Amino acid sequence: MDKKTAEKLYDACYMQVYSYVMTLVKDQHKAQEITQETFFKAITAKQTFRGESECSSWLCAIAKNIFIDSTRKSSRYQDEPDETLADSDTDIEQSIIDSETSFRIHMLLHEMEDPYKEVFELRVFGELSFAQISAIFHKTESWARVTFHRARIKLIERMNSNEI
């Protein structure tokens, strides 16, 4: 891959890949490392992008594999028991709280008017980009962003007012 193509790829997909990796590792430093390693592997790989999917999907697949490999390596060297096993009581408690909160959110979403409800669900549960959402509604990407933002505000306001 030539330098110009690599720069275009990096500029176009960096935030998508970084955001995806952040959902996996939940650590900014590790996410930056994995994202950079992802682009390094993509740019220096002997096999190039075949065009069977979007380039961001290809890069996220590479990032996922790097994440899995790094998790395996770190688990080999970890002598201490896993934190999730040690804190199982608090995890169960947190899981119940999360489950109740999730149910409240779904109840509030069920009552929310369209297009706010649908845009929020497509973005959060469908994991669609704003560009994809705007294409579904035949609107601009800005419209999708604003509608999602307003839906979030409505949802937060309703949760804070304890409607359900």
DSSP string across the chain:
--HHHHHHHHHHHHHHHHHHHHHHH--HHHHHHHHHHHHHHHHH-SSPP-SSS-HHHHHHHHHHHHHHHHHHHHHHS--SPPHHHHTHHHHHHHHHHHHHHHHHHHHHHHHSPTTHHHHHHHHHTS---HHHHHHHHTS-HHHHHHHHHHHHHHHHHHHHTT--
Supply the mean pLDDT for the chain: 79
CB atoms within 10 A of CB 67: 19
Residue 95 has pLDDT above 50, yes or no: yes
| Domain spans in the chain, listed from the N-terminal domain onward | 3-75, 88-160
Residue 146 has pLDDT above 90, yes or no: yes
Domains 3-75 and 88-160 in one fold: no
More confident residue, 153 or 105: 153
Residue 85 has pLDDT above 90, yes or no: no
Is the CATH number 3.30.1550.10 carried by domain 88-160?
no
Segment of 41-55, 96-110, 149-163 carrying the highest mean pLDDT: 149-163
CB 18 within 8 A of CB 32: yes
Identify the CATH class of 3-75: mainly alpha
pLDDT at 37 (0 to 100): 92
